[in-house]
Amino acid sequence: MNSRSLARALLASVALAASLVLAGCDTDQVSLATNAKANQPVSPKLVAAMGEKDMDLQSPILIRLFKSEAELEIWKQTRSGQFALLKTYPICRWSGDLGPKVREGDRQAPEGFYSINPSQMNPQSAYYLSFNTGFPNAFDKALGRTGSQLMVHGDCSSRGCYAMTDEQIAEIYSLGRESFFGGQKAFQFQAYPFKMTPVNMAKHRNNPNMAFWKMIKEGYDHFEVTRQEPKVDFCEKKYVFDAAKAPDAKRDPVFDASAKCPAYVIPEDIASAVREKEQRDEAEYNKLVAKGTPVARMNTGIDGGMNKIFAAKIPEGSTGLSEGAEGNTLQMLAMSKAPGTIPGTVNPPKPNLDAVAAAPQEEPVVAVAAPATNTRVASAEKSGGFFSNLGRKMGLSTADTTATTPPPQATASVAPAPAAPSTASKLKAAVTRFVPDHDKSKDAPAVAAKPVEPAKPAETKVAATRPALKPSVSDGAADGAQMAGAAPVVSSNSFDSRFGAVK
């Protein structure tokens, strides 16, 4: 069976390559498999998992991605016609904040529904392998959103993209390639800020992006109840899912993202199932709000996130805006295998110092106090509230969550209150919090500067410096991938030096 599948794959590859030659293509629309990296077979372990889940090697795929969880899911169609989850990959790095991409250069990774066709697959990527997300789609363009070359790629470094390890992107690429060889014209890419559950919607209920998130949650719900790829259209600057021709219509509706919506219907079996799910979610959401579920803080001062499995293996690693882990858990994760090779140039999420400096001086009104069980800031209180103030700026903790009790003399003292920390001192503290191996003995009391980045040598081609192949993560490729030692100097083939276009 496997030999016949391999033979079919090779024949399909030859046929596809021949068709591209006959049809002609420009330099951006290259063949799916022009080199050894792009031709790597799907790992035997993953092929076996497909067999156990009643999937064919070349059946269609669908990708869902979640920023807060820092996870990318590969769904694959089973022989029943529905999609089932094949594998979940931890994301090594994503940049920006929770929320959609709005403009070129905002460092945001996109959110929404996108379609990936063979021309968007890049076997000659400078970041091992990649595919273009297709941002901006028609909805983004209708709102005037700008940006280009937003990718899912290897190299574990991001400026508005979603970055995996090289081993991970090799496996993801091979799954997409096989689905195209099997006849899939394009696979759907769904990018979310978090899993669209009632608890997450309650936590982020005051976020200014909530209206957009509720809109794309409709597509999330369509997939959840049908396990079918939802049909996506746009009109009146909004998403429309699974629209069909009205019973009395003579032709299919024509959609334009900027125009008035045409007459359409949603099939009743889908509409009723989605409606029931929405009612259940709304009831659970109302319960969570009524009992005072804390509102998630706005974290505009942190640039993106990474999965905790990677943060645990990087000196001074941080999960940033992704779901983190406490010290002991990170120490335990550091002993486990990494899902791929972590390059020496990877940088964990750090504060955006410009955003920190521009942050308002007072607490955001959406903040809700958590139960007084957090003891991590107890030692910070002894230093006159300095680190507590920093915590408030970075969205990590507040005085309301401090478990310590102020010393009695604090209420009896008549000494003048100490001056509030200056913006400079806060910026200084932000740097020392996130920069590895910082020497505090050299700190000046009123000086704040961004850390000096190492000089970057002239740009070099990566084709001669990167290995041709990366073993599959499904076959235990990451046994020796753990980083050790201090944060490395950025090398000439780092992401920054190889990526000229801003996102």
Q: Which residues are catalytic?
A: 153, 161
- Identify the residue whose tokens are 């991001």: 158
**Rounded CA separation 314/259 (Å):** 49
**Rounded CA separation 16/180 (Å):** 9
Token readout for 112 is 């929404």
**Rounded CA separation 438/453 (Å):** 14
Sequence letter at residue 209: N
Token readout for 67 is 């920023």
Sequence letter at residue 189: F
**Rounded CA separation 297/368 (Å):** 9
**Rounded CA separation 130/28 (Å):** 13
On whether the CB atoms of residues 293 and 203 are closer than 8 A, the answer is yes
Token readout for 283 is 């009831």
On whether the CB atoms of residues 134 and 115 are closer than 8 A, the answer is yes
**Rounded CA separation 152/110 (Å):** 11
**Rounded CA separation 172/153 (Å):** 10
Q: What Rg, from alpha-carbon coordinates, does the chain have?
A: 25
Is 302 in a helix, a strand, or coil? strand
Look up residue 425 and give its DSSP letter: H
On whether the CB atoms of residues 310 and 156 are closer than 8 A, the answer is yes
CA atoms within 13 A on the CB side of 328: 0
CA distances from 337 to 176, 305, 312, 313, 483 (A): 25, 20, 11, 9, 11
On whether the CB atoms of residues 229 and 188 are closer than 8 A, the answer is yes
- Which residues, 6 or more positions from 53, have their beta carbon under 8 angstroms from its beta carbon? 76, 78, 84, 86
